[in-house]
Amino acid sequence: MNWSVLILTELFGTALLIILGNGIVANVVLKGTKGNNSGFLAITVGWALAVLTAALIANAFGGVAHFNPAVTIAIAISDKTKNLGFGAYTGLSPVAMLFLVILIQFIGAVLGQIIVNFVYYKHIKKTLESVKVEDQANVLAMHSTIPTERNPLLNFAMEFLGTTVLIVAILSFGKFANGSGLPNFYGPILVGTTILAIGLSLGGTTGYAINPYRDLAPRLVHSLMPIKNKGTSDWKYSWVPVLAPLLAGVTVGLLFLI
| Structural domains in the chain (count) | 1
Per-residue pLDDT of the chain (258 residues; tens, 9 = 90+): 899 999 999 999 999 999 999 999 999 999 999 999 999 999 999 999 999 999 999 999 999 999 999 999 999 999 999 899 999 999 999 999 999 999 999 999 999 999 999 999 999 999 999 989 999 999 999 999 999 999 999 999 999 999 999 999 999 987 766 656 677 778 899 999 999 999 999 999 999 999 999 999 999 999 999 999 999 999 999 999 999 999 999 999 999 998
Chain-centre distance for alpha carbon 228: 27
Give the domain extent around 233.
3-257
Give Cβ neighbours of residue 243 (< 8 Å, ≥ 6 apart): 156, 212
Give dist(CA 1, CA 140) in Å, integer.
Answer: 40
Q: Supply the CATH number for residue 115's domain.
A: 1.20.1080.10
Give dist(CA 138, CA 161) in Å, integer.
Answer: 25
| DSSP conformation letters of 211-223 | SHHHHHHHHHHHH
pTM of the model: 0.96
3-state secondary structure of 2: strand
Task: Report phi then psi at 26, rounded to 5.
Answer: -60, -40
Give dist(CA 88, CA 231) in Å, integer.
Answer: 45
